[in-house]
């Protein structure tokens, strides 16, 4: 809470960085992620289609709207709410220059997910997940490695329809997770679950596009804020706060 | 604390030292960054999980430690190598500008003659890149973010290669679909004779990463699938992973055909088998007469088997009665003399015969000298392999 009083010359820099980091937290939807999707667009991308009733996971029952001809239908109102929370959180993590890791074990979309990660400047892991990657990182990756700050699961299950090891390991290492949970997945250990279809191409394409846009937007906003505060310098700190509060959302 | 423990030399305390170290490691595996952050009180920053353990549980022995060379060290070595190269050129009285690696090797062999059998134990002076093993630099920047987008997979070069290859495959498929839609589709045959895929070790060396057999097999399968599709752009990408194979028959030395006083064409060659040496002259046009040491072959080799050995090269090429042979042979016994003459005759016939027939002869084994020699008798045994009779009591 207290601004850095360590040294007079670094006090200014700390003030600016404090301002930059605290500003987005004052608004509920600083990055305006609501405008990126609508219930209609989710429906058109077939996000509401779940698996057959026999594959249903017990903990997914609250998110299921009903079942038609034996196929579960996911409640898109809840999906929209969860998606807004998840995208908002992702944007905040990207704004604070966090490391984001996209994880999936579905071979059909592996190339797409890796391309998405590359386009937003983040990281992807759609290959065989070695056991101690998160829990034994110094041995596997290097002595002074940084672990991801957020893990996004586009497919929570692996190729044998079991929960991906990274879900449990991220929970162990206190790494927040965002995940698209289908009707046969376990949403328990995921911080921001997004109930939705993870098997159809249009649905996964939509989610990839959404994550890519959010992350790019957040990074751009960060660059804007830094430029703004650097230009204003020491005098305009007070005025700068009002100036940025007036336009919290990005133009098109 | 750990450093002082390393210095104690007693073997008994080693186990104690290792056990103590493990518990130390557990306690020291604290989020150092988090602790530092809490102290400065900057709450808004994400506590970047920098997982640092000061000690590892492995033995810190020089033999097991992998030597890591810094970039500055390698650069210094390269500078020293270049200066040393120029000094060496001056010493040998040659031009420093055009002093190649072969000249360096010759100079070192001259200045430091060594009788050691192991070539790698002799003095060498090579470029540091060939001596120090290739290593990876640190994979992340100052802010802790890794450079490569596939860093967290563990095998970033291999998986990025797979990603690239798969991307090219998708493009090629799209291109092929477009061609098919327009109706311009045509079957394509690629000739890949004379080249082979990279072996696993070569790929590992190229990527500076360890691979498993399945990874390698998967990669080759992907490239072969890429080759079956149309699209000329992928050729260069695939050619990077093919190495040319020199066909063995090209290395075969063919004797030149000589002409004697009467204008008869003949060719000479030598052959060896065990301790027998043979020198043979084969005349192009003849009636199938063979003279060994001035004696007719029927009298010199009474055994049918030896004569069959002589006949075999001609039999193979269907030229039984067409050539005349004169040869001199010494050493060995009757069978090895026959073998020596056979090899010499086959080599001589190479000059009268087409290239494909030479390749067939090579594949039949006619042009390969038999490497078998008599194995020495060992002490404690009766012969080379035969042991003394084993008596139970």
Of A93, A101, A174, the CB nearest to B152: A101
Per-domain boundaries in chain B: 71-130, 153-244, 258-364
Q: Scan for tokens 């810190």, then name that residue.
A: B60
Q: How far is B236 from chain A (nearest CA, A)?
A: 22
> What's residue B188's pLDDT?
65
Whether the full predicted model's pTM is greater than 0.80, yes or no, is: no
| CB contacts, 8 Å: A7 with chain B | none
Contact B163 A111 (CB under 8 A): yes
Q: Is B49 on the interface with A (CB under 8 A)?
A: yes
| CB contacts, 8 Å: B42 with chain A | 4, 14, 18
**Tens place of pLDDT for every residue, chain A, 252 residues?**
444 444 455 677 788 888 899 999 999 999 999 999 999 999 999 999 999 999 999 999 999 999 999 999 999 999 999 999 999 999 999 999 999 999 999 999 999 999 999 999 999 999 999 999 999 999 999 888 999 999 999 999 999 999 999 999 999 999 999 999 999 999 999 999 999 999 999 999 999 999 999 999 999 999 999 999 888 876 555 554 444 444 444 444
Nearest CA among B147, B173, B150 for reference residue A116: B150
Sign, CA dihedral A16-A21-A22-A23, equals positive
Of A6, A133, A146, the CB nearest to B154: A133
> What's residue B202's pLDDT?
92
Among B305-309, B319-323, B382-386, which is the least confidently predicted range? B319-323
> What's residue B169's pLDDT?
93
Task: Report how far apart, in Å, the C-alpha atoms of B329 and of each of A38, B163, B297 are.
Answer: 96, 64, 12
Contact B149 A118 (CB under 8 A): yes
Query: Which residues, including other chains, have CB under 8 Å from residue B324's CB and lie 6 or more apart?
Result: B282, B283, B285, B286, B287, B288, B289, B290
Residue B385: HSE in the Cβ half-sphere, 13 Å Cα cutoff: 2
- The pLDDT tens digits for B201-232 are 999 989 988 999 999 999 999 999 988 886 65
Q: How far is B49 from chain A (nearest CA, A)?
A: 6
Among B77-91, B136-150, B182-196, B331-345, which is the least confidently predicted range? B182-196
Q: Is A4 on the interface with B (CB under 8 A)?
A: yes
Q: Is A139 on the interface with B (CB under 8 A)?
A: yes
Q: Is B62 on the interface with A (CB under 8 A)?
A: no
**What is the secondary structure of A142-211 as a DSSP string?**
-TTPBPPSEEEES-SB-TTSSB-HHHHHHHHTT--EEEEE-TTS--TT-SEEEE---SSHHHHHHHHHHH
Angle between helices B200-207 and B156-182 (to 10 degrees): 110
Of B53, B145, B152, the CB nearest to A138: B53
Query: Which residues, including other chains, have CB under 8 Å from residue B180's CB and lie 6 or more apart?
Result: none
| CB contacts, 8 Å: B140 with chain A | 142, 145-146
| CB contacts, 8 Å: A97 with chain B | 143, 145
Which residues in B274-391 belong to E strands, given as ranges? 276-283, 290-292, 295-296, 324-330
> What's residue A17's pLDDT?
87
Of A14, A114, A149, the CB nearest to B163: A114
B6 has a pLDDT exceeding 60: no
Task: Report how far apart, in Å, the C-alpha atoms of A199 and of each of A191, A213, B114, B260 are.
Answer: 21, 21, 69, 84
| CB contacts, 8 Å: B52 with chain A | 138, 143-144
Nearest CA among B376, B358, B375 for reference residue B367: B358
Contact A93 B46 (CB under 8 A): yes
Is residue B323 within 8 Å of residue B283, measured between CB atoms?
A: yes
Instruction: Tell how many helices (H) and how many strands (E) occur in chain A.
Output: 8, 8
Among B55-59, B302-306, B383-387, which is the least confidently predicted range? B55-59
What is the 3 state secondary structure string of A114-133? HHHHHHHCCEEECCCCCCCC
What is the 3 state secondary structure string of B216-241? HHHHHHHHHHHHHCCCCCHHHHHHCC
Give the best residue of B41, B51, B159 to mutate against chain A (max A CB count within 10 A). Answer: B51
Q: Is A127 on the interface with B (CB under 8 A)?
A: yes
Give the best residue of B149, B155, B214 to mutate against chain A (max A CB count within 10 A). Answer: B149
Q: How far is B48 from chain A (nearest CA, A)?
A: 7
- Decide the pairing of beta strands B290-292 and B324-330: parallel
B15 has a pLDDT exceeding 80: no
Identify the H or E element spanning B5. Answer: helix B2-7
Q: How far is B18 from chain A (nearest CA, A)?
A: 18
| CB contacts, 8 Å: B53 with chain A | 138, 143
Q: How far is A141 from chain B (nearest CA, A)?
A: 6
> What's residue A113's pLDDT?
97
Q: Is B51 on the interface with A (CB under 8 A)?
A: yes
Query: Which residues, including other chains, have CB under 8 Å from residue A175's CB and lie 6 or more apart?
Result: A134, A147, A148, A149, A150, A151, B49
**ipTM (interface predicted TM):** 0.86
Q: Is B54 on the interface with A (CB under 8 A)?
A: no
B369 has a pLDDT exceeding 70: yes
φ/ψ of residue B387, rounded to 5: -95, 165
Q: Is A15 on the interface with B (CB under 8 A)?
A: no
Return the top range by mean pLDDT from A200-209, B62-71, B90-99: A200-209
> What's residue B55's pLDDT?
52
Burial class (CB in 10 A: 0-12, 13-18, 19+), A115: middle
Mean pLDDT of B326-339: 94
Q: Is A234 on the interface with B (CB under 8 A)?
A: no
> What's residue B61's pLDDT?
61
Of A96, A127, A147, the CB nearest to B159: A127
Nearest CA among B240, B236, B242, B246 for reference residue B198: B242
Angle between helices B71-92 and B101-111 (to 10 degrees): 70
Rounded Cα gap, residues A135 and A170, in angstroms: 8
Phi-psi region of A121 (alpha: psi -120 to 50; beta: other; left: phi over 0): left
Contact B42 A117 (CB under 8 A): no
CATH no., domain B258-364: 3.30.230.10
Q: Is A68 on the interface with B (CB under 8 A)?
A: no
| CB contacts, 8 Å: A140 with chain B | 154
> What's residue B229's pLDDT?
81
């Amino acid at each position: 809470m207290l601004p850095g009083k360590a040294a007079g010359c670094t006090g200014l820099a700390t003030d600016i960085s404090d301002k930059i980091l605290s500003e987005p937290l004052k608004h509920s939807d600083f990055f305006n992620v609501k405008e990126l999707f609508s219930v209609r667009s989710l429906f058109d991308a077939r996000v509401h289609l779940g698996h057959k009733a026999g594959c249903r996971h017990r903990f997914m029952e609250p998110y299921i709207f009903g079942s038609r001809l034996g196929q579960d239908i996911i409640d898109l109102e809840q999906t929209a709410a969860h998606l807004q929370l998840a995208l908002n959180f992702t944007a905040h993590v990207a704004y604070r220059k966090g490391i984001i890791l996209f994880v999936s074990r579905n071979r059909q979309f592996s190339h797409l997910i890796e391309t998405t990660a590359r386009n937003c400047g983040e990281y992807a892991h759609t290959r065989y997940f070695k056991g101690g990657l998160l829990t034994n990182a110094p041995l596997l990756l290097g002595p002074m490695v940084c672990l991801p700050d957020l893990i996004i699961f586009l497919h929570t299950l692996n190729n044998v329809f079991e929960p991906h090891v990274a879900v449990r390991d991220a929970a162990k290492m206190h790494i927040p997770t965002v995940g698209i949970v289908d009707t046969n997945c376990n949403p328990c250990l995921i911080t921001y679950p997004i109930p939705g279809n993870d098997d159809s191409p249009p649905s996964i394409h939509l989610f990839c596009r959404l994550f890519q846009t959010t992350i790019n937007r957040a990074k751009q906003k960060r660059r804007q804020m830094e430029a703004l505060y650097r230009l204003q310098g020491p005098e305009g700190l007070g005025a700068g706060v009002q100036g940025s509060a007036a336009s919290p959302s990005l133009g098109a | 604390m750990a450093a002082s423990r390393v210095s104690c030399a007693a073997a008994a305390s080693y186990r104690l030292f290792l056990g103590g170290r493990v518990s130390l490691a557990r306690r020291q595996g604290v989020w150092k960054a988090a602790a530092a952050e809490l102290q400065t009180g900057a709450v808004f920053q994400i506590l970047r999980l920098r997982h640092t353990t000061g000690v590892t549980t492995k033995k810190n022995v020089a033999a097991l430690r992998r030597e890591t060379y810094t970039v500055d060290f390698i650069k210094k070595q390269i500078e020293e190598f270049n200066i040393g190269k120029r000094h060496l050129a001056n010493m040998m009285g040659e031009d420093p500008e055009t002093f190649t690696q072969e000249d360096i090797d010759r100079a070192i062999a001259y200045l430091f003659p060594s009788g050691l059998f192991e070539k790698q134990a002799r003095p060498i002076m090579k470029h540091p890149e060939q001596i120090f093993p290739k290593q990876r630099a640190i994979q992340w920047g100052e802010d802790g973010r890794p450079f490569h987008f596939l860093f967290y997979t563990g095998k970033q070069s291999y998986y990025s290669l797979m990603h690239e290859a798969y991307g090219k495959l998708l493009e090629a498929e799209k291109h092929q679909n477009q061609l098919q839609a327009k109706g311009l589709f045509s079957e394509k045959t690629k000739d890949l004779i004379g080249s082979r895929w990279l072996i696993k070790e070569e790929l590992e060396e190229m990527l500076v990463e360890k691979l498993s057999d399945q990874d390698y097999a998967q990669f080759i399968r992907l490239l072969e699938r890429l080759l079956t599709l149309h699209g000329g752009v992928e050729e260069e990408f695939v050619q990077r992973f093919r190495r040319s194979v020199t066909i063995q028959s090209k290395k075969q030395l063919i004797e030149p055909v000589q002409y004697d006083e009467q204008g008869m064409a003949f060719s000479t060659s030598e052959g060896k088998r065990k301790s027998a040496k043979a020198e043979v002259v084969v005349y192009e046009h003849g009636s199938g007469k063979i003279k060994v040491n001035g004696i007719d072959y029927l009298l010199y080799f009474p055994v049918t088997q030896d004569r069959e050995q002589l006949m075999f090269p001609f039999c193979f090429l269907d030229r039984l009665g067409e050539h005349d042979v004169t040869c001199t042979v010494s050493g060995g016994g009757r069978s090895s003399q026959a073998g020596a003459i056979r090899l010499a005759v086959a080599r001589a016939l190479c000059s009268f015969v087409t290239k494909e027939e030479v390749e067939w002869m090579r594949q039949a084994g006619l042009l390969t000298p038999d490497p078998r020699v008599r194995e020495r008798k060992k002490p404690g045994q009766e012969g080379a392999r035969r042991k003394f009779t084993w008596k139970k009591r």
